[in-house]
Amino acid sequence: MEARHRNQNVAMTQLIAEIAQPNLPPSEIYERVAAGITEILVSEAGLLLFMGESQPELVVKSSTETELRWVYPIEIGEDEHVLWQCLQNSKPLITNNGNVNTKILRTVLPGMDIQSILCAPLNIDGRSLGLVAVLNKRGGDYNAHDEELLGLMATFLAGVTYNARLIQQLKISNADLEAMRWQLLRSRNILRALFDSVPVSFYIIDQKFALVAINMNRAKIADSRPNMLWGKHCYEALYQRQDACQDCRVLESLYGGQNTNRINRIWKPDGESQEWEINTYPIRDEDGQVVQAILFEQDVTEKHRMEATLAQSEKLAAVGQLAAGVAHEINNPLTAILANAQLLQRELNPDDDRQELVDLITRAGTRAAQVVRNLLDLARKEHYEFLPTDINETIQNALALVHHELVSRPIQLTLDLAGDLPLIEASKDHLQGVWLNLMMNAIDALNNAPGELRVSTRQQGSAIHIILADTGMGIPPERIQRIFEPFYTTKNPGHGTGLGLSVCHRIVKQHGGHILVNSRIGAGTEFEVVLPIQ
């Protein structure tokens, strides 16, 4: 018996430690508790019942061997006997004599015959938040040890529930925030727990800019702990300045009683910027005088980046409309140019020096047509015809198109194509365009200097890996993350449209694959395209 009790104590302690994680959402905590107490106390079912905020209703979390579900709302009255007594008396209650099939239990656990129940109230600061219960103990009756374990969980769960409600109220509105702030000033323990659990950064200063309180999140940004920062000037402890920040607006809250908002932009060593939205609010004493100010800091870099992406999408929509007209106006003369150039190639003697000039006209026209095609591909949803395709064949076709570029430059081509690759469902022309674009980028990266272009294929698991690597100038690390953005290019002005890699990325995604990039300045760049076989 003692060994079993010890095992139950250890299991309950482990469960509490598991759900005590600061970033675990309350809903997941409740799910783990409902399932955990059922198992630890060897019961047939477990319940979590929470009192409503404004009316005597219950939100019920039930756990059995087969399901875990919410049932709400349910009214509770005196006819509920065991549950009502537990809530009214604020004490744990055990019933092992059967006949406890109340209205709530019949609703929550239909078809289950309740013979025994152990419940404990969720009390904090003299307030009842609900109760936790287990039903139908297997192989015996509930005892005092079971009551002690459930009471321990109820105490912890009451604190979790109370803090979760405080945090939710903080996020609802500024009015709730002001009411919460009044309560926080009178309860340092709740203030500390709340400060350390809210994911945003905030701190409180007095009229001399001294830090009165600071949460763990903001202290971590300053690479310190809250107790090491209290009493220091905020501009000194948080921003390493000798005097107040020039664009700080907290004085408007401290001496004008106003709420303020501003954006603070910080530049990182890699050249990227980080934007923080800083809000300040006055804190008044009982006489209505402003004595302190609270500052909220939230990283809005990603938010602004998404807004910029949305604006870029609107630009692309306009480009799409423009591209349709441009394509019609440009493709017609390009078709005539290419057709006449091909006729000249046929009429001229192969040894004629003018063949090279005609070839230049053909390649220039083809490249111009490709630019227009890339623009159209970017602006519209293109049709893909997926057929059994030999990857090596598409690479050979792309190499044939860049053959002249390779032989006219001091570039060594190393080809290592696996001979046993299976056919995959793919759009042959689109993949050929991907290889062509990557090869041309590699040739441009070598910049007429001696170098090597390596092309290899291999099968790895259920995917085919295609690697195109060069020994060119490489791509700076800060630009790697943006090379697949439309209209972004690392080439010199006049040498790139910024559409090629964006189109390649979209084509590979349409095939269910992805592109990996590895590059070092002065050592070259390697693109690895992974395509699923199925």
**507 contacts: CB under 8 Å, gap ≥ 6:** 427, 430, 431, 433, 434
Average pLDDT of span 250-272? 79
User: 71: part of which helix (H) or strand (E)?
Assistant: strand 68-75
pLDDT top residue among 117 and 165? 117
User: Which of 82, 48, 42 is CA-nearest to residue 63?
Assistant: 48
Calculate the alpha carbon distances from 92 to 83, 234, 270, 310 in Å: 10, 48, 59, 56
Q: How far apart are CA 337 and CA 350, in angstroms?
A: 20
Calculate the alpha carbon distances from 442 to 360, 435, 471 in Å: 20, 10, 8
Q: How far apart are CA 78 and CA 86, in angstroms?
A: 11
Q: How far apart are CA 363 and CA 371, in angstroms?
A: 12
Question: Which residue type, as a one-letter code, is found at position 198?
Answer: V
Query: With bands split at pLDDT 50, 70 and 90, how would you rate the model's confidence at 457?
Result: very high
Q: Hey, what domains does the chain have and what are their CATH numbers?
A: 2-169 (3.30.450.40), 197-299 (3.30.450.20), 300-380 (1.10.287.130), 382-532 (3.30.565.10)
pLDDT value at position 324?
A: 61
CA 169 to chain centre: 24
Give the rounded percent of residues in the chain with a pLDDT score beyond 90. 3
pTM for this entry: 0.36
Give per-residue pLDDT as tens, 394-434: 888 888 878 877 888 888 888 888 888 899 888 887 888 88
Percentage helix, strand, coil for the chain under 3-state DSSP, each rounded to 5? 45, 25, 30
> 122 near 157, Cβ under 8 Å?
yes
Give per-residue pLDDT as tens, 104-126: 777 777 777 788 888 898 888 87
